[in-house]
């Protein structure tokens, strides 16, 4: 029994981590066992954003994408998924890397949440100053 060949990519954003598997198919996107539309609760903007790397290289209908994503919120997860898909595409077709890199899908966004400091309400918010 032969397993289907797939290309693998890993993406991260904030505290979200996504792994993507690209297999030959018809353009189905599955996130954590659910269809992408169900997982993103019908948010059309986020759904379009997830498939941006495939759309830029014109391969939306050539691959089925299976994604496992953990941590963070939906916005961070979507950015992690985009990076994972872009990296998986370059594994199979290295000639597409410059196109994806120019579009900004290959770079990890390094911004993280700043930790809370003692004596403050949040990372930087202080108690209101009182002169008297």
For the stretch 26-46, pLDDT in tens is: 989 999 999 999 999 888 999
What average pLDDT does the chain have? 91
In a domain, residue 2? The reply is no
What local confidence, expressed as pLDDT, does residue 1 receive? 46
What the block records as the tokens of 37 is: 């539309």
Spatial contact of 81 and 21, defined as CB atoms under 8 Å apart? no
What the block records as the tokens of 24 is: 């030959």
Q: pTM, whole model, 2 decimals?
A: 0.87
- The domain in which residue 53 lies consists of 7-103
In a domain, residue 110? The reply is no
Q: How many domains does the chain have?
A: 1
Q: Give the C-alpha separation, 70 to 1, whole Å.
A: 30
In a domain, residue 99? The reply is yes
Kindly provide the residue ranges of all beta strands, DSSP E only, lying in the chain, ordered along the sequence.
7-13, 16-24, 29-31, 34-35, 63-70
User: The domain spanning residue 42 has which CATH number?
Assistant: 3.30.230.10
């Amino acid at each position: 029994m032969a397993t289907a060949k797939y290309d693998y990519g890993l993406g991260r954003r904030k505290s979200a981590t996504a792994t993507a598997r690209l297999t030959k198919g018809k353009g189905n996107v599955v996130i954590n066992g659910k269809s992408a539309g169900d997982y993103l609760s019908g948010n059309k903007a986020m759904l379009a954003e997830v498939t941006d790397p495939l759309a830029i290289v014109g391969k939306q209908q050539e691959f089925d994408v299976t994604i496992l994503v953990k941590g963070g919120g939906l916005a961070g997860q979507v950015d992690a998924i985009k990076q994972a898909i872009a990296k998986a595409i370059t594994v199979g077709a290295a000639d597409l890397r410059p196109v994806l890199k120019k579009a900004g899908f290959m770079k990890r966004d390094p911004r993280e949440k700043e930790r809370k400091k003692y004596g403050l309400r949040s990372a930087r918010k202080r108690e209101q100053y009182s002169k008297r």
